[in-house]
């Protein structure tokens, strides 16, 4: 599976959300909260690179018409709740969750801000959504060539 295909629908979901937000508040620059759990910062990861390249393909350039608040746990998964809460204090418009630990922390922290999953086990089995047809809550669920 190509990374561009994997990330295209979650990126599109973010853009639809931002298009709606722009229609309501034209002066506001959308803010994405991107949380990465590895030992290295998010902006050095292939996953982050693919994500930002896809946003650029869709006309969104960081620092120009979109802001990305990056957080990484430096490999310490116990830091996720604090990192999610920090993003909420920064008033991000959407949270991009890169793994199950981030998804769980984001679900516990907010029912209002959309959460876009970049990777996950089966989200229905994990209890993140009610069903594929009717996910409910604030999880943005998109299926793309067998991915969630």
Q: Which superfamily is assigned to 3-140 in CATH?
A: Response regulator (3.40.50.2300)
Q: How many residues does the structure list for the chain? A: 148
**CA 102 and chain centroid, separation:** 10
Q: Which tens digits make up the pLDDT trace of 59-96?
A: 999 999 999 999 888 878 889 999 999 999 999 999 99
CA-CA distance, 97 to 76, in Å (whole number)? Answer: 15
Helix (H) or strand (E) holding 71: strand 67-72
Q: How far apart are CA 60 and CA 64, in angstroms?
A: 8
Tokens representing residue 142 in the block:
């998109």
Q: Given this model, what pLDDT does residue 11 score?
A: 61
Question: Dihedral sign, CA of 45, 47, 52, 56?
Answer: positive
Domain range list for the chain: 3-140
């Amino acid at each position: 599976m190509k990374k561009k295909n994997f990330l295209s629908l979650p990126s599109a979901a973010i853009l639809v959300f931002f298009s709606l937000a722009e229609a309501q508040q034209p002066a506001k620059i959308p803010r994405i909260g991107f949380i990465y759990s590895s030992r290295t910062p998010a902006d050095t990861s292939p996953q982050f690179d693919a994500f930002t390249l896809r946003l650029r393909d869709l006309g969104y350039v960081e620092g120009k018409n979109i802001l990305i608040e990056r957080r990484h746990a430096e490999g310490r998964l116990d830091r996720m709740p604090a990192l999610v809460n920090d993003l909420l204090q920064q008033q991000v418009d959407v949270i991009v969750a890169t793994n199950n630990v981030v998804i769980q922390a984001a679900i516990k922290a907010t029912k209002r801000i959309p959460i876009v999953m970049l990777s996950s086990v089966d989200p229905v089995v994990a209890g993140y959504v009610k069903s594929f047809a009717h996910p409910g809550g604030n999880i943005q669920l998109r299926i793309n060539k067998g991915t969630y």
